[in-house]
Amino acid sequence: MNRIVKATIWILVLGGLGYGAYWQLGKNKSTLQENAKASQERNTVIPVVTGKAELATMSGEFNVVGNFAPYKKVAVMSETAGKILTLNFDNGSTVQAGATLATIDNDLIRIQLETAKTNLAKGENDLSRLQRLLGEGGVTQQQIDDAKLGIENLKQQIKGAEKQISMSYVKAPISGVITGKMVEKGSLIAPSMQLAMITNISKLKMQVYLTEEQVITVKKGQRISMKADLFPDRNFEGTVTFIDVNADASRRYLVEIEINNLGDSLKAGMTGTVYFKGGATRQVLSVPREAIVGSLQDAKVYVVENGKAALKPVVTGSVFNNRVQVKEGLSEGDEIVVSGQINLEDGKDINIAEN
C-alpha cells in the first residue's frame, strides 16, 4: 500500500514539473515572437543620411591611378621539334637580342643537307655533259630541261634544309631578362612551344584609363609627372606615347606614358599615380562618392521620393575631390542617400536623420 502511495506521489510530482517546463517554453516562444514582430516593425523604416546632387567645380588638373607595364615582353618560342642539346639561359639571366638561347638536335637535317649538296654537284655535272651532247644530236632538249628542273629542285631542298638548321638555334627576339623558364637541357620540344619569357624593363609604360573628358586634354608627346606607390618621395617623368582611339567596356580610354627605368628600380606590375595638368576648369553635376551604389561602370544612386528610396541608374564621369561627376540619371537639387544604403532596397520607407 505504501509503495502505491509513493509511486502516485512521484507521478504527480513529475507531471507537475513537466507541465511547468511546457508552460515556461510556451511563454518564452511567445516572447520571442513578439520581439521578432517588433523588430520587423522597427525595420520597415530605415534611417539614412541624405545629400544633394549639385554643381561642383571640376579642376582641369586630375590624378589617375595606374600600373607600370614592361616596355617589351615577348615569349621565346621553338620553331622546330627535337631534343634540346644546349641551354644557355636560366631565370633571371640577362640576354641580348639575337643571342643563341638554345640549340636543338639537327643531325638528321645536316645529313639531308649534305646529301642534297652532293646530288646537286652530280646534277650540274650531268647537265654539262648533256649540253655538250646536245650539239652532236645524242640527247634531246627534253632531257636538258629535265636535268635543269632536277637541279632547281635540289637547290630548293638545300634552302629548306638550311632554313631548318637555322630554326634549330633558338635566338632571343629582344633584349631583356629571362622569366618563366619552362624547359631544361635534354627536354623534347615541339614547334610553337614556349620555352621562356623575355621581359624588358629598361623602360616602362605607365598605363592609365581616362574618361572622355580627361582624354581630350592629353596629347601624344606630352610630358607627364608621376609617383610610384612604393617610392612616394621620388618623382618620375615620362612621355605620352599612346592614346587609344577606342573606349573599353567601361567607357575609358587607355593612355600609355613611357618612362626610363634607371637602375631598374621600378618593376612591372607596380602601381602609381599620374598627375595630369592643362585641362579646363568647369562646373559639372556631381554627388558624393559614397552615394554611389556598386561600381562606377554600373553605378546606381538611391533618390528620395515621397519618403521612399528609389534606386536609379546613373552614368558617371570623372572622380574629383571625393565627388563623382554624373552625366545622366539625376538633376540638380535631387535629394540622394549618402549613408545607410547597406540596409536599403528599392521602394523602402526611409527616415532622414540629421546630417
Among 282, 287, 272, 271, which Cα is nearest to 321's? 287
- Give the pLDDT band of residue 345 (cuts 50, 70, 90): confident
Coil, strand or helix at 156:
helix
What residues are paired with 197 via a beta bridge? 75, 179
Q: What is the pLDDT of residues 244-261, one digit of tens each?
A: 999 988 888 999 999 999
Coil, strand or helix at 151:
helix
Query: Cell numbers 567607357 label which residue?
Result: 251
Q: What is the pLDDT of residues 128-159, one digit of tens each?
A: 888 888 766 677 888 888 889 999 999 999 99
Between 256 and 325, where is the model more confident? 256
Q: What is the pLDDT of residues 188-242, one digit of tens each?
A: 999 999 999 999 999 999 999 998 888 888 999 999 999 999 998 999 999 999 9
Q: What is the per-residue pLDDT for 347? A: 87
What residues are paired with 170 via a beta bridge? 102
C-alpha to C-alpha distance for 54 and 62, rounded to whole angstroms = 20
- Rounded to an integer, the average pLDDT of 340-349 is 84
Q: What is the per-residue pLDDT for 27? A: 60
Q: What is the per-residue pLDDT for 28? A: 61
Q: What is the per-residue pLDDT for 303? A: 93
Between 53 and 320, where is the model more confident? 53
- Rounded to an integer, the average pLDDT of 44-70 is 86
Q: What is the per-residue pLDDT for 30? A: 62
- Give the pLDDT band of residue 60 (cuts 50, 70, 90): confident
Asked whether the predicted pLDDT for residue 35 surpasses 60, the reply is: no
Average pLDDT along the chain: 86
Q: What is the per-residue pLDDT for 84? A: 96
- Give the pLDDT band of residue 5 (cuts 50, 70, 90): low
Among 208, 259, 210, 205, which Cα is nearest to 235's? 259
Asked whether the predicted pLDDT for residue 179 surpasses 80, the reply is: yes
Asked whether the predicted pLDDT for residue 42 surpasses 70, the reply is: no
C-alpha to C-alpha distance for 21 and 33, rounded to whole angstroms = 18
Angle of helix 107-134 versus helix 141-167 axis, rounded to 10: 160
Between 32 and 259, where is the model more confident? 259
Q: What is the pLDDT of residues 82-123, one digit of tens each?
A: 999 999 999 999 999 999 999 999 999 999 999 999 999 999
| Percent of the chain surpassing pLDDT 70 | 86
Between 300 and 321, where is the model more confident? 300
Half-sphere exposure of 8 (CA within 13 A, CB side): 5
Q: What is the per-residue pLDDT for 41? A: 47
> Which domains occur in the chain, in start order?
47-59+282-352 (2.40.420.20), 63-71+201-276 (2.40.30.170), 107-167 (1.10.287.470)
CA distances, 220 to each of 115, 217, 340 (Å):
57, 10, 44
Among 108, 112, 111, 106, which Cα is nearest to 84's? 106
- Give the pLDDT band of residue 3 (cuts 50, 70, 90): low
